[in-house]
């Protein structure tokens, strides 16, 4: 079966410090991978998505970056965090869901709650 792991679950970082969030997927090959951010009272915001190793598309210009060094590994990074980077970060992968008329359904990791002080 397919599983998605995301870590760390929570972290508190000072402004200006670096960030690294990691996500790995098991049980599938060449998944589409996504990084989302969720702020309180707002919809999920797509940050990055990847359709393959080394292929990253950025949806929102900001001080975050993403990398996909291996097929099933997706990393979200920052060199210098800002206060506005605080939020709930979610990694996801998509799969064609049988019984959903061929829709690509997102499966999310458990999330990483980042507080920047």
Partner 1 sequence: GQNIDQPTEMTATEGAIVQINCTYQTSGFNGLFWYQQHAGEAPTFLSYNVLDGLEEKGRFSSFLSRSKGYSYLLLKELQMKDSASYLCAVKDSNYQLIWGAGTKLIIKP
Interface with partner 1 (CB under 8 A)? 41-46, 90, 97, 100-101, 103, 105-111, 113
* C-alpha closest to that of 31 among 89, 99, 108, 101: 108
How far apart are alpha carbons 76 and 88 in whole angstroms? 13
Of 41 and 54, which CB lies nearer to partner 1 in the complex structure? 41
Of 42 and 83, which CB lies nearer to partner 1 in the complex structure? 42
How far apart are alpha carbons 57 and 48 in whole angstroms? 6
Q: How far is the CB of 16 from partner 1 (least distance, A)?
A: 27
Q: How far is the CB of 59 from partner 1 (least distance, A)?
A: 8
Of 14 and 42, which CB lies nearer to partner 1 in the complex structure? 42
Q: How far is the CB of 26 from partner 1 (least distance, A)?
A: 16
From residue 60, how far is each of 20, 37, 57, 63, 91 by CA, in Å? 18, 11, 9, 10, 16
């Amino acid at each position: 079966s397919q599983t998605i792991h995301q870590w760390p679950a929570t972290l508190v970082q000072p402004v200006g410090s670096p960030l690294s969030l990691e996500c790995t997927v098991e049980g599938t090959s060449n998944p589409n991978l996504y990084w989302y951010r969720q702020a309180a009272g707002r919809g999920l915001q797509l940050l990055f998505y990847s359709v393959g190793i080394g292929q990253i598309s950025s949806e929102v210009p900001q001080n975050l970056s993403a990398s996909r060094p291996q097929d099933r590994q997706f990393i979200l990074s920052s060199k210098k965090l800002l206060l506005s980077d605080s939020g709930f970060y979610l990694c996801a992968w998509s799969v064609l869901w049988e019984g959903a008329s061929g829709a690509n359904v997102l499966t999310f990791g458990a999330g990483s709650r980042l507080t920047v002080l």
